[in-house]
Amino acid sequence: MELIETINLPNGLTLTIYNLTRRIAADTVKVELSFQVKIEVLESFFASPADYLQLKNIFGGELTYDHKLERSFVSDAEEAVVRSELLETFKKNSLHYLSSP
């Protein structure tokens, strides 16, 4: 897992982008990107303290949002272009949403 970029969002969260690309044949790869945001679990997110404690006891005090984009059977020559396209697509479609309070 190779770190590509870290973006500090206006809402205080941090988006971390990883390259998970791997070879699937002699001249092709599966281009895969992982977009992760760690979110601290706060009691104010819940309707009742019991709900908060139940989730915290099961998952801990931090959750990770993880979204993946991938494209299979990409030729070696197209790998960088496809990676860039996936990255820009995510930023265009999801960055505003993740930046919201």
What is the C-alpha to C-alpha distance for residues 1 and 89, in angstroms, rounded to an integer? 20
The per-residue pLDDT for 11 is 95
The per-residue pLDDT for 36 is 98
The per-residue pLDDT for 101 is 79
What is the C-alpha to C-alpha distance for residues 41 and 63, in angstroms, rounded to an integer? 7
The per-residue pLDDT for 57 is 96
Q: Is the pLDDT of residue 84 over 90?
A: yes
> What is the model's pTM?
0.90
Half-sphere exposure for 36 (CA within 13 Å, toward CB): 16
Please, what sign has the CA dihedral across residues 32, 37, 38, 40? negative
Domain that holds residue 90: 2-99
Structural domain count of the chain: 1
2 pLDDT band (50/70/90 cuts)? very high
The per-residue pLDDT for 16 is 99
The answer to whether residues 6 and 16 touch, using CB atoms and an 8 Å cutoff, is yes
The per-residue pLDDT for 67 is 98
Instruction: Dump pLDDT digits (tens) for 30-82.
Output: 999 999 999 999 999 999 999 999 999 999 999 999 999 999 999 999 999 99
What is the C-alpha to C-alpha distance for residues 67 and 28, in angstroms, rounded to an integer? 23
What is the C-alpha to C-alpha distance for residues 55 and 73, in angstroms, rounded to an integer? 39
SS3 of 101, please?
coil
The per-residue pLDDT for 18 is 99
